[in-house]
Amino acid sequence: MSPSTNLTPLFEPAEVAVVGASAVKGKIGHTIVENLVTNGYRGKIFPVNPKADDICGLKVVRGIQDLPSPLDLAVLCVPPPAVVPALNALAQLPVKAVAIITAGFKEVGGEGYRMEREIERIAREHSIALLGPNCLGLVNTARRLNATFAVGSPPRGSIGFFSQSGALCVGILDWSKELGIGFSKFVSMGNKAVLDECDLLEHLAADQDTNVILGYLESIEDGGRFLHVARRATREKPVILIKSGTTAAGAKAASSHTGALAGANEAYEAAFRQSGVLRVDDVATLFNLAQAFSCQPLPAGPNVAVVTNAGGLGILSADACSRAGLNLATPSAATLETLRGFLPGFAALYNPIDIIGDADAERYARTLDAVLADEQTHTALVVLAPTARVEVEKTSHAVIELSRRHEKPVFCCYMGGEHVAAGRELLREAGVPCYDFPEPAVACIQAMYAYSERASRPAPVAANRLRDRDAACAVVCRAREAGVSEIVEFQAQEILRAYNLPAPETRLARTSDEAARLAERIGFPVVLKIASPQISHKSDVGGVAVNLGDADAVRAAFARITSRAARLAKGAFISGCLVQAMAPRGAKEVIVGFRRDPQFGPLVLFGLGGIYVEVLKDISCRLAPLTLDDAREMIREVRSYPLLRGVRGEPPVDFAAIEEILMAMSRFAQDFPEVHEAEFNPVLAWDGGAVVADVRVVLARPDLNAAIEAAGQDE
Amino acid sequence: MSPSTNLTPLFEPAEVAVVGASAVKGKIGHTIVENLVTNGYRGKIFPVNPKADDICGLKVVRGIQDLPSPLDLAVLCVPPPAVVPALNALAQLPVKAVAIITAGFKEVGGEGYRMEREIERIAREHSIALLGPNCLGLVNTARRLNATFAVGSPPRGSIGFFSQSGALCVGILDWSKELGIGFSKFVSMGNKAVLDECDLLEHLAADQDTNVILGYLESIEDGGRFLHVARRATREKPVILIKSGTTAAGAKAASSHTGALAGANEAYEAAFRQSGVLRVDDVATLFNLAQAFSCQPLPAGPNVAVVTNAGGLGILSADACSRAGLNLATPSAATLETLRGFLPGFAALYNPIDIIGDADAERYARTLDAVLADEQTHTALVVLAPTARVEVEKTSHAVIELSRRHEKPVFCCYMGGEHVAAGRELLREAGVPCYDFPEPAVACIQAMYAYSERASRPAPVAANRLRDRDAACAVVCRAREAGVSEIVEFQAQEILRAYNLPAPETRLARTSDEAARLAERIGFPVVLKIASPQISHKSDVGGVAVNLGDADAVRAAFARITSRAARLAKGAFISGCLVQAMAPRGAKEVIVGFRRDPQFGPLVLFGLGGIYVEVLKDISCRLAPLTLDDAREMIREVRSYPLLRGVRGEPPVDFAAIEEILMAMSRFAQDFPEVHEAEFNPVLAWDGGAVVADVRVVLARPDLNAAIEAAGQDE
């Protein structure tokens, strides 16, 4: 749907018509009316049915033409062939929002696919906010609106949830009642013919009743808009998503290292990370996090204080914190003195604070009070095993009171069953998350800390770089018109100049004598590289010789390289060799590249050259446009980063110079949508700078692009 | 305790005395008697108390001297100072087994520590199988023996469980009732003064009532015995352990790369892996696995067939399988034909098999029957969301019947709450594991497949190598007597010869002219290395020059190396330079080392030389003695393994030669307990062999060892 669609008629309709309402209990068209009535929806309800007189005690409307005009929301559950005519009739009223429950459209292909296209067309033409088809419906608990055919209704709460799977909605609905998780909005998106995750993210981000947004996604329809909307939404409130099933279609269509390494999953990872979305892999974690975010304040730092009556559970908590990158800070001297004042001699005062097996509620309370008062403590984790002396419910009351008083996040782990059930229930009602084991509690603390840390950073700004777009365009357009699929060597060098990127001095030599002469002029030592538009990976054909110290070495290398390339790359046109200035001794090779992801656009890649990228697959990725922070993080994220920082007394490479190159690649990728992939490989970096020693630019093949698009539609 | 202690009197006593029994309800000494009586223990119970007459309807014995002689089991819950006298008195009866509940011993230090030493002494002198002190007691459900002070008793089942944390026992006891998990034995080990995890592993491995062994450990007392016992136990039945809190004490005491990289956690990882123990990180997974192993057959292969009525949950299941390294095999042509015969047109026949939202129990049954009959299917995962048409209980009945008929492992994931509760309960009772979400089900399938794959391999045999132990001993003993802490250079070369390890020809040159002469004899090119007993890391002081092609280059390098080393390593005695033959061009550097872990003995390390080990920490570890399989796995496990296999058309290195060197290192580590660490660094490997180019052997410092031991006792 277009940006900022008005979803108010969908979520807060003044009246709802159910087209396809049924008087037969158990039928979908009956359950929807029943759910509207029994959940206490206060607007007007119009069951539409040509034959019935009374459905759930409501007067039945004979046909669409008899409905009020304009109409806020119509829920459609007529058979598939009746959907398009019904939608046309509703559009004439006009109608503002429609939820199509009926299945049998895009998901079955053929005629269904065609009908869905028609649904989309009508909705867009008449600006109808249309949900589905093939969905369960939607719930807005604040308005007591349950326009679904689910059995039962979700409890009211502050979680806004949308899902691409209707069956998952049904499961979660059933499960949430048991766990006491409450929802503000609950939306089944179905086939997403019109409204999709972006529309819902946008609406929920602005929704006052929602303080955490959750979603289950199988695909993202518009990557660019998703990035834009998600970035804004995560600044308002946490957004936690499951993205299941990633395809390898994008990676298959790629030909460079960047293409092969940075697949669709890397693009999704980058999109979620750069927009601040928390990505989780399973439904249990999704709801654990939702509950934690919706009821606890954010931690102000990474320090966790663990208070336990069981040493073993304390150690497990410490292990989990350590794995999650959280700190167990030592209590301050003052706190230690306070604790010493009342804890028994055998207690462990250092974090985890083991108040030992005979701890009663008062000991828990005094300890928790002391550690929460300590400014070193950012989050408290109260761990309890049902020992003989434990006072579970009294401890819960104390935890609730202290968590409110100190306004710091408090989490609990009560291990056990029957003996701790009532104490857990008290915590849950009071909004203190309580888990069976330490690990999920620590996972929540980690996610909340990561979110709060990101939230406290200033909003990133994409740097604007000076460049001569026209000069670059001349090269790219010339190649395109010539039907060339790759730009290499001299033409590529022109692009570097247009983007103010430093390159080592390079000259083309057609003969070995010319190579020797050029080398004298450039200054020894030099590098020789085979020059041929048909040879992309020069070192695969032995087409590179480095560190050539004099004219004889240059002549010998020229002969060797050209004859070997002629032998190995049969039929390739060989222009000669490039003679290039050497980078300083000890310069490090890095790779900067991008590939155009079909969903999210240019995905920029960074890695150390040679085996680090090729063999160890040690790369980092971000979507363009990069911010300077993105570029900095990309460099520091690869495992081999210490090599750039310098080992054994080496100086670090010039990071700012590499960052500049990453930013230029991002800019270039955005400037030329017709470029499919590009790679600077190697970039040579040392302590005094970085140069781009080789460039490859791959243009999009129109036929390939069309094929990719067609494949996307089949899915 | 010594190997094969008889634990029968502990677990199957003919009579139990409770020393410290109390008539006061709520006291520990009363609860123990109560638990024995109410759980229906059929042997004789003797409460011992000097004053009371009747405890829980039993006649009270006045003192220990009035107990039957010999006595099978005594449970002690007298105050700490009374424990040693009571134990002495019991020893006189004599008593066969004792469980000391009382706390206040090693864990409180000082006098407690001393008393625990005395308890241990008495038990060993009188061959008493002694559990505790500071424990909850033990349960043997088959004998209805509950000798704990826990509230309630665990259900009967086939899980044997032991724990180093009493509070964790209490929590699990409470929790297991809710989950319907049953135990054969349930043991709280307390301070492990005498009986420890090895004794229990050994007993439970032979125990007919136990088919899965679970444990929670904070430390392992005797690493060598643990390896031996665990290896045998895992051949009998699955052993699943949590090991919490690993210390860095071992790593701190180390000085080589091997020492710094291979910490205590690596030793535990190696011990668990080599003995076939499944290590898990959290209690929830521990019991999920226990339940799965105890009620389902092992999968015969990695292929999982997913049957679902919800597409989204199917995709999540596929994602989880893919992350776990399991396959989703395509059904055979015959199976596909069967499925086509009854599934609706929109169903997805390929795995995950989506039988869509309107599936009833019969559709589930027919689909599951077909996929289980397919020999491609090793395990089936039935996924269900509570849609309107679903028949939860009927589906459960069908799943139970089919899983029995086909004798293949079947797992379920029923998402939801109230609507699926009864169906889940049916499955649980019938021994078909059912989870809320796909991920834990897949984690169980993965663990069971890993276990079955290991079980199907032949038992590994440690290879015996020929070596001249005496020749090596001469070097090691000489160094030891001389008070030298490191053996390098020529002495170390003698060790290589003793173990038949190839080394490049190496000569010591005292002057630059001598170096040039020796180089002529060895043949150019050569390597020059600083020779000094005080310089361990030669390249840190620029003490290595490679690829020296003629006599002048050798002379110049000699001067450079010795003067730089003299400047950088002030006060080091410099003998001159070693002149060494060069390995063939393109040879790869690898590192083979070991450090002696205080718990588990020699931990052998492998990695690629230079930055791969130092910067990227890319290593693999195994405990000695290595089998040839271990050596093979170690080489293939490092991330940089593809470099050894050869990239860009290079031939692979000689793996057999590296394996030989790993085996020799393992043998050397076992031959000389006085050697603390050793490192072959670099080992140069190419397609025609491998040579050990440099050796360092670090002898144990007696003072350091004593300090480590003392630190261990404080814990």
Q: Where in chain B is the domain with CATH 3.30.1490.20?
A: 505-582
Q: Which of A172, A178, A614 lies nearest to residue B418, judging by beta carbons?
A: A178
Q: Which fold has domain B505-582?
A: Dna Ligase; domain 1 (3.30.1490)
Give the mean model confidence (pLDDT) for residues A639-652.
88
Question: Mean pLDDT across the stretch A93-121?
Answer: 93
How many angstroms separate the CA atoms of B698 and B254, rounded? Answer: 10
Cβ pair B174:A415 closer than 8 A? yes
Q: A588-702, what's its fold?
A: D-amino Acid Aminotransferase; Chain A, domain 1 (3.30.470)
- CA pair distance B53, B58, nearest whole angstrom: 8
Residues of chain B with pLDDT > 70, as a percent, come to: 94
The string of DSSP codes covering A573-592 is ---EEEEEEPPPTTPEEEEE
Q: How far apart are CA A575 and CA B141, in angstroms?
A: 85
Instruction: Answer whether B175 sits within 8 Å of A216, measured CB to CB.
Output: no
pTM for the complete prediction?
Answer: 0.85
- pLDDT tens-place string over residues A453-488: 888 777 666 666 778 889 998 889 888 888 888 887
The answer to whether the CB atoms of B245 and A616 lie below 8 A apart is no
Rounded Cα–Cα distance for residues B168 and A385 (Å):
7
Single out the residue of B400, B414, B409 nearest to residue B310, CA to CA: B414
- Please say if the pLDDT value at position A704 is more than 50: no
User: How far apart are alpha carbons B530 and B697 in whole angstroms?
Assistant: 17
Composition of chain A by helix, strand, coil, percent to 5: 45, 20, 35
If residue A307 lies in a helix (H) or strand (E), which one and from where to where? strand A304-308
d(CA B400, CA B428): 10
Per-residue H/E/C for A668-691: HHHHCCCEEEEEEEEEEEECCEEE
Which residues in A lie closer than 8 A to residue B318 (C-beta atoms)?
A: 245
Please name the residue of chain A whose CA is at the shortest distance from the CA of residue B439. A282
Chain B interface, mutation test: which of A281, A288, A316, most B Cβ atoms within 10 Å? A316
CB contacts of B443 in chain A (<8 Å) are none
Residue extent(s) of CATH 3.30.470.20 domains in chain A = 588-702
Query: How is residue B78 written in tokens?
Result: 């007298």
CA distance B432 to chain A (A): 20
> Does the distance separating the beta carbons of B616 and A315 come in below 8 Å?
no
- CA distances B357 to B11, B354, B505, Å, are 52, 9, 74
Task: Check residue A611 and give its pLDDT.
Answer: 78
pLDDT at A331 over 80: yes
Residues of chain A neighbouring B281 (CB-CB closer than 8 A): 319-320, 323, 439
Residue stretches of chain B with pLDDT short of 50: 1-3, 247-260, 704-715
Q: What is the pLDDT of residue B147?
A: 96
Rg of chain A over all Cα atoms, to the nearest angstrom: 32
- Burial of A252-278, coded b for 16+ CB within 10 Å and e otherwise, reads ebbebbbbebbbbbbbbbbbbbbbbbb
Residue B436, C-beta contacts closer than 8 angstroms, at least 6 positions apart: A175, A283, A284, B413, B414, B415
Pick from A166, A312, A611: which is nearest to B168 by CB?
A312
Whether B707 contacts B699, CB under 8 Å: no
For A55, list phi and psi in degrees, rounded to 5: -130, 120
Contacts of B108 in chain A (CB under 8 A): 345-346
Q: In angstroms, rounded to a whole number, what is the distance separating the alpha carbons of residues A526 and A524?
A: 5
Alpha-carbon separation of residue A309 from A386, A462, B165 (angstroms)? 9, 50, 11
Amino acid at A473: C
Neighbours of B20 (CB within 10 A): 24
Amino acid at A511: T
User: Do the chains contact at B244 and A315, CB–CB below 8 Å?
Assistant: yes
* Residue range(s) of every CATH 3.40.50.261 domain in chain A: 297-456
CATH 3.40.50.261 positions along chain B are 297-455
Q: Which residues in B lie closer than 8 A to residue A387 (C-beta atoms)? A: 167, 170
Flag if A244 and B319 touch (Cβ within 8 Å): yes
Cβ pairs bridging A and B (under 8 Å): 203
CATH number belonging to the domain at B297-455, selected among 3.90.110.10, 3.30.70.260, 3.40.50.261, 3.40.50.620: 3.40.50.261
Does the beta-carbon distance from B165 to A310 stay under 8 Å? yes
Which pLDDT band holds residue A659 (cuts at 50, 70, 90)? very high
Average pLDDT over residues A571-585: 86
User: Which residues in chain B have Cβ-Cβ distances shorter than 8 Å to A542?
Assistant: none
Yes or no, beta carbons of B179 and A417 under 8 Å apart? yes
The CA angle B365-B366-B367, to the nearest 5 degrees, is: 90
Of A31, A216, A643, the CB nearest to B312: A216
Under 8 Å CB-to-CB from A706, ≥6 apart: which residues?
none
Q: Give the percent of chain A with pLDDT over 90.
A: 60
Nearest CA in chain A to B318: A245
Among A371, A382, A372, CA closest to A415: A382
Closest residue to A174, CB basis, from B318, B320, B418: B418
DSSP assignment letter at A501: -
Fold classified for A505-581? Dna Ligase; domain 1 (3.30.1490)
Q: State how far residue B572 is from chain A, nearest Cα, in angstroms.
A: 20
Q: Are A114 and A145 in contact (CB under 8 A)?
A: no
In A, minimum Cα distance to B639 occurs at A616
In one letter, which amino acid is A146?
Answer: N
Confidence grade of residue A250 (pLDDT, cut at 50, 70, 90): very low
Domain A297-456 in CATH 3.40.50.2300? The answer is no
Alpha-carbon span B584 to B685, nearest angstrom: 9
Phi-psi region of A190 (alpha: psi -120 to 50; beta: other; left: phi over 0): left
Give percent of chain A with pLDDT exceeding 70: 94
**Cβ–Cβ below 8 Å for A312 and B216:** yes
Please name the member of B163, B176, B417 whose beta carbon is closest to the beta carbon of A178.
B417
Query: Which of A501, A574, A503, A590 minimizes the C-alpha distance to A535?
Result: A574
Chain B contact set for A168 (CB, 8 A):
310, 312-313, 385, 415
Helix (H) or strand (E) holding A225: helix A223-236
Q: Which residue of B has its CA nearest to A313?
A: B168
* Whether B244 and A319 lie within 8 Å, measured CB to CB: yes
The alpha-carbon gap from B281 to the nearest alpha carbon of chain A, in Å, equals 8
Q: Do B310 and A167 touch (CB under 8 A)?
A: yes
Range A176-191 average pLDDT: 89
Residue A529 makes CB contacts below 8 A (sequence gap 6+) with: A538, A543, A544, A561, A577, A578, A580, A694
On chain A, the residues whose CB falls within 8 A of the CB of B165 are 310-313
Phi-psi map region of B45: left, alpha, beta (phi>0 left; psi -120 to 50 alpha): beta
Domain with CATH 3.30.1490.20 in chain A: 505-581
Task: Tell me whether residues B178 and A417 touch, CB distance under 8 A.
Answer: yes
